[in-house]
Each structure stands twice: as C-alpha cells, then as structure tokens.
Structure 1
C-alpha cells in the first residue's frame, strides 16, 4: 500500500488537497485525511505530497514501441523504446503500432514488445496493421486480430494522403473501417480505425468521403498528425464541428511554413467551443519523422520523443489553459474514446496510475499499477536490459 498525503489532486478536474491510498494496483481510498490503526496494520509506504500535484498517468495512443523508420534505408530503422523512456516521461499506458515498414517490422514483434513492457510495469495495447491496405495482420483479417488477440484494440496506423501509402480506394477504406468496427463490437473493444494523415493534396478528403458514403460512426475513426500543415489543421476544425474525433501529434513542432505545435492547434480548437473530449494527443515516439522534398527525396530524418507529451502539457499551461484542459487529451479523453475502463482518472476503484509533479511541472514520482517506477526524479524500476 502507498499513501500520498495532502497532495493537490487533479482528476482531471481540480479536487483540492486530498490524500490518496493505493492498495496493490488500485486506488482504494481518496479523502481529505486518512489515518491508520497504530497496531497490527500492514506496512504502508508514505509519500508527503504537500508541495506536489497529482494527475493521472498519461495515455499515449500512438507510439512505436518496437521502433519504426527505414525511409532512408536499413540504417535508418529506429531502435526500440525502453521502459524508462516511457516512465520518465509520465506514460503509464501506451498503444503500440507499426508505420511505413510492415515488412522488417511485423505484428508478432510488436505484440512481443508490448507484452515485455507490460511485464516490466506499464499497461500496453496495440493497433494491428501498418501504412498499407490490405494491411498486415496476425490472423487472416483485421477483424480476427481484434477479436482473438487481447492486446489489439483496433487497426492502424493506416496511411492516407501520403506518397508512402498504398492509395486505398474509397471502398477499401469503408471495408477496413467496417471490419475494424465489427471486430470491436464482437470483442467489446473500441474497434477504432486509426489513420495517418500525410502531406498529400487530398488532406482529410478521404475521411470526409468515408463519413459521407458509409454508416461508420465518428466514434470508430481517429485521424492523427492533424497539426502537420495548414490544410489538415483547417480540415480538422471542420471535422470536429460535424462531430468527429481527432488526435494531435505532440512530436510535431512549429517547423516549416505551416506546421503547428500541438498546444497551438488545441488552443484554437477550444476557442471554437469544441469539447476537449473530442481531442487526444500522442507523441509518435519511436517513429521516424522524415522530411521529403517536392520530388519525394528524403532530406532530413529525426525521431519522435516521448518527452513531447509532458512538454505539451507545460506549454498548454504557459499559454493560459487550465491544468484540467491541459491534461484531458492525455488522460480521460483517450481513456473514454478507447474504452479503457478504470484508466485516465484518479478515482476510487481506478487503476493506480498517477504522476506527482512539482510546482514546475517536472515528474517527481510516477506510480504505474500501484508500483513506484520513478521517485525523486529518478527511475527506481528499469527495463530488463537497461543499465541501472
């Protein structure tokens, strides 16, 4: 058991000063004051939270846990992420995925990496597939993967409007969305089709066409990278206004002529009186971030970092957003959208995934599934092959 005493709690709503008791992997009690019998009571680890802020652990729904890349050749394949790459950056739940390369990276390797991180101490899920359509699967279909594999919650990242995609037809996308949705219905999972939006001329047009010409609900579709240029950012606002849900990439900064940072686009969305529960944010960590010229030649290659999630929260607050508004896209919004029960909030009976921040919003302590993973700004639990 862990008792966090007298901490400022955001749920993500502000709840004032509270004490939080965790027991095994759950939050068992939240109150203004918690006392224990003096005799014959199990050992409780006590954390003084007087100068700290408690928020839910971050949910990153788009992260290349077993590496990605390869757009510049085999030497450009990005490495796998280690446990502390995630915990030191506040991530207690992640959804792993493949990207451009569905050949040298495959679903078997992705599932294995997800299970390894789960064993080491965080919660993991996966999207099935990669950029291409027909996409890569473990079973004979996307529907089969979602129904039969516990880790798989939907399909992604399927690429559209990108010179690296397989140019799926309108019928291809509708069929894939239907397969994903039905897999979710049968298995009780979210059944979301998670789509990568590139810099192509059509932007989000394929997504608008999918909505217009099929019966797929908005709740089964989640486009991402929508802050990458002015075209898709503008279309994202239109999509939100008709009821859609979007994911914004924290790893995309104000680079080039039209890219926007995640906090910048999010702030514009809130000013349009759009619910923050229609927005999620994710890092694209571990994924390559290539820059191509107008002829499709690779000119620069960087790697997404998990640190951009917490950096975006700090930037949101610096821009004048409240703590609640700033953390919703990383906590309660993805938990609700992806049907992660008992995640994304600090409530009794919920998973004991939480972050203790200092007044500068640096991570002082991170608890995942009731286990202290980071304490006094340093990891206390390492991945199997990490040097402690």
Structure 2
C-alpha cells in the first residue's frame, strides 16, 4: 500500500512544499485521488470536511499546470466551484502554499460575494486557478470580466452544500458555458438522489472514492443540560461562562440574529465575545476565528453553517444556546470538543418547548444526557 507522498507521482517541488507544510503521511483520499487525477480521470469523492480532500485536488492541478505556458489572458484553465467564501479563501490559500517552489508561477484567485467586485475583476488577468462561489462567478461572467469557455479542469467542492444552499440553477448556467470535453472532479460529504442526477450528467466513468467521517467518541464528551425558561437563557449562559476557567468556549445558535444579539449582551456584561456567521464579511470572519484560535477572544458565537469551518484540536467547551434542527447537527456541534483523545464538555440550554426535540436527539445518538435544574443557581 502507498504510504508516502513521494509514491503518488508528484514532482520534487511539490514534495518540498508538502514537507515544509509538515504533512507527513497522505490521507486515504489523497492516496486514491492524486494518481487518478494525474491520469486525467474524472473523480467522485464522497468525503467529509477534514478528510484532506483540498490537497487531493490542488496538488495534481498544480502539477498538471506545470506543463502549460504562462498566459496573460482572462481565459481560465482551472475552475473550482465552492459554496462559501470561507472555503474559497481556504482553497486559494492551500494552492498558494503548495505552489511556492514550482518553476512555473501559478496564479490562484478566490472570488466571492460580500466584497467589492472591482478589485476581483482587476486581478483576473493571467489567473490559472479560479476558486469561485456560483453567484459571484455569474456576476463576473455577466460583466464579460473573464471566459470559462476554455476550462480544462472543473472541480465542484462540497457539492451537497452547493445544492442545499439553492445554487442548482446557477451551477447549471455555469456548466452550460464550460466545454464538455474536460476533466471533472466532484466532492460531496453526502450522496442522495439529487446528487446522483448531477453525477450522472457531469462525470464520465469516474474513479469513485468514499471516505467515512471520523466518528465522534461520545464517551470523551461530558454532556449535560439545564432546564431553563427562554427569558433566563442569557443570564444562565453568562453564569456558565463566568463559573469555569475554560480558555475557549464555542456557543451555537440557530440564527444569525440570535448570534448578534447574544454577542452584544455578552460584551455589555464584560465577556469578550465575537460572532461568526454568514452575514459577516470574509475579513471579519477570518479575524474572529484567528482571535478565537489564538485565545485572544474567549467566546465565539456561531451558526451551524459557519461553525463547520471551525476545527480546533483541544476545544474544552461547546454550549448549545439553541438546539439544532437535526440530531446529526447536534452530534457535529458537540463533536467540536472531545477530540484527539482529549475530554471536553457540552452543555445545552433546554426550554419547555425544546424537551420533546431534545429527547429525539438523545434517542438518535443513543446517549442519555442529564437534565439539571437551575433552581439553586443565582442568575
């Protein structure tokens, strides 16, 4: 079995960049995807976030581009479509990191909404890899700022999320402008009937790769809940935060509005907190996550969609200020703690209206969560 990056057919410059990035062994998805990609196969990868999929397509893209001449046009040879600006920025960063030692300079550009379009338009010339959200790409195409009629490699990353976010029409519009004779790579965390339709229409005899998500070890997470009225949730949250010495606390809400209101109240009460959600600019989100990871900000209040990008190895406490809609999302939330063999805590604030839903969550995850009274707490 292949165990080293040097066995995957990558050139010396890329191997140097991999070594400098302190990547020691390839992930299973990289072992399967990289050689197939270099052999110009279409690929279908069913793989969760954190499985190493970004490097599994960026590394072979960089290698294949080495055989092409630099260009100064706005004709894009490689297009990577992603659902969120977070992921767009992250993919572009990975490409820049791995291309540092290459003989032929590779230009990667991330384009997404929520920021001015003009600076993005000005940077498009000579772009080799364009990482784009569907809406912003269509904006740029409508202004004739670039051409995708010569795309040779198309990557659709987190396609399930792209479809869930309602981008199907936008994706169909984009695909209509891309040559049919291309190499297509599609990654998704889940596979259902809707995705199967997309797969059959886009991929030609693909290499199929499936990587299971690492299971959350619920035994490493000390879970408990407080029964509380809706109006006392805020005071209870502040009491929990002030009662322990947790260095980092991740709080989940179900809406952007609640996240913003919560942060305002926490800050007003002397607790250092920042919000992390889709309505924040890319710069604000990057800064909030950096401050939280470094310990400069103690409390981060996130929504589920944004929270999927939070990966902290030793996060001590997760609080569900509001319950998520599905048991799967609950497991994903509490699974932010209790990682890498370290124990963690997860606390949920449960109102009378939440009780039935919370019982369903416990039944689905096959674990009882102690429900504590707040009568003795000074709120």
User: Normalised by the size of structure 2, how large is the TM-score?
Assistant: 0.29
Higher helix share: 2
Q: Rg: which structure is higher?
A: 2
Specify which structure has the bigger relative contact order, considering alpha-carbon pairs within 8 angstroms and separated by 6 or more residues. 1
Higher strand share: 1
